[in-house]
Structures are given as structure tokens and as C-alpha cells.
Homo-oligomer: A and B are copies of this chain.
Amino acid sequence: MRARINPASPFARKVRIVLRERGLSGQVEEVETSVSPVAPNADLARSNPLVKIPALILDDGTTLFDSRVVCEYLDTVGSAPRLFPAAGPERWNALRLQSLCDGILDAAVISRYELAVRPEALRWKDWIAGQRTKIDGGVDALEREQPSWGQAFGIGQIGAACVLGYLDFRFPDIAWRASHPGLVAWFEGVSKRPSVRDTTPRA
């Protein structure tokens, strides 16, 4: 199997952490792939019509995307403990947390496009403020929920690690540490895991 990833992408990082947590790194080649919302990568488009990463190309040529589908698929490969609860309230809680983290990341990535890709004269402050409301509200929700996580490191917590790592990487000015002491301690702890440590975002 081959995973199309980029070391700067927080959604690709979810997949890369899942590969490491489940001991699958040796079975999946990580192929570094450049993407841009304004210059679609024609080679990637042949695998994923949405021209996005992450995408997982199976040995039969089938391509799975997006990060949620790839992560849940990888959770069924091999015999390591599962990162997605199979059923019941635990499943809905984990999927809701994953969705919260993906939503924060969507807002952060779209803000990054506005602030770093769009020509400066075309930037819209109301749009940036609206996305910032989602980021701030989302991180506040993570702070409230974090005490309930205990030692768990499932798909929801993987999402949270990707959120905090991405804010450190692209939005140091948001300074999330200043008002989220529970997340500071939690992130310090999980950052020692090889899966998290070895996937720290880089440009």
C-alpha cells in the first residue's frame, strides 16, 4: 500500500500517526505529494478526483480517501488494538471528537490559505474572524473534554494532537497554551509517543 502524504498536512498526519500506532509503517510506503488549492496536481488527480491528501492506494489500485476513511480502514489491518471503538456510546463519542478536531483543522487550513496563499489585496477579515471563532470555540471544547480522556489515545485524541501540533506550526500567534492548561499538560505527555514525535509538522 502507498499513502500520499505531505509532512505539513495535519490530515495526512492523522494517517501517519495511525500507521505508527498500529505498527503498519513497514507495510505502507509514505509518498510525499505536493498539493495546492489553486494549482491542482494532475498526477494526484488520477488517484483522487478531489486532488487532496491523504489518500491511500491499496494493492489492487483502489484509492481510499479522505483521512477518516483511510484511518478507519487502517484500523482493520493487522491485529494491534483498535483506535476506533466498534459500537455504542464509545464509538459516537470518539467519532464526534474526531469530527470536532477535523472541523478545527478545516478552519485552520482555510485560514492558512487565506493568509498565506491568497493575494493580500483579496483577503477578507470577516472570513478570517469567522474561521477563528471556530478554532477558538473548538479548542475551548477540547480543553473542557480533555479530563475525560484519561490515558486513551484513540482516533479522537489523535485528532487533538494533530490540531495542537498544527496550531504550533502555522498559528503560533494564536498562543493556545496561554488559556488551555489541561491541553498543555496532555499534549506534553502524548508528544513523547514515537508516533507523535516522529510526525511533527515541517514545511
A128 vs B29: C-alpha distance in the bound complex, in angstroms?
33
Interface of A (DSSP majority class): helix
CB pair A68–B37 under 8 Å, yes or no, is: no
Q: Does A49 contact B (CB under 8 A)?
A: yes
Q: Which residues of B contact A64 (CB under 8 A)?
A: 92, 95-96
CB pair B68–A99 under 8 Å, yes or no, is: yes
Q: Does A104 contact B (CB under 8 A)?
A: yes
Q: A40-B133, A95-B72, A130-B40 are in contact. Are A50 and B104 (CB under 8 A)?
A: yes
Q: Which residues of B contact A124 (CB under 8 A)?
A: 118-119, 122
CB pair B126–A123 under 8 Å, yes or no, is: no
A52 vs B5: C-alpha distance in the bound complex, in angstroms?
28
* Chain A residues within 8 Å of B, Cβ to Cβ: 36-40, 45, 49-52, 62-66, 68-69, 72-73, 76, 87, 92, 95-96, 99-100, 102-104, 107, 110, 113, 118-119, 122-124, 126-127, 129-131, 133-134, 137-138, 140-141
CB pair A73–B49 under 8 Å, yes or no, is: no
Q: Which residues of B contact A123 (CB under 8 A)?
A: 122
Which among A49, A68, A100, A123 has the greatest number of chain B C-beta atoms within 10 A?
A49
CB pair B130–A39 under 8 Å, yes or no, is: yes
CB pair B103–A52 under 8 Å, yes or no, is: yes
Contact residue among B36, B50, B68, B92 (Cβ-Cβ distance under 8 Å from A107):
B50
Residue of B nearest to A60 (CB): B89
**What are 30 contact pairs spanning A and B, CB under 8 A?**
A37-B130, A37-B131, A38-B129, A38-B130, A40-B130, A40-B134, A45-B133, A45-B137, A49-B134, A49-B140, A49-B141, A50-B103, A50-B134, A50-B137, A50-B138, A51-B134, A51-B137, A52-B103, A64-B92, A64-B95, A65-B103, A66-B103, A68-B95, A68-B99, A69-B95, A72-B95, A113-B127, A118-B124, A122-B122, A122-B124
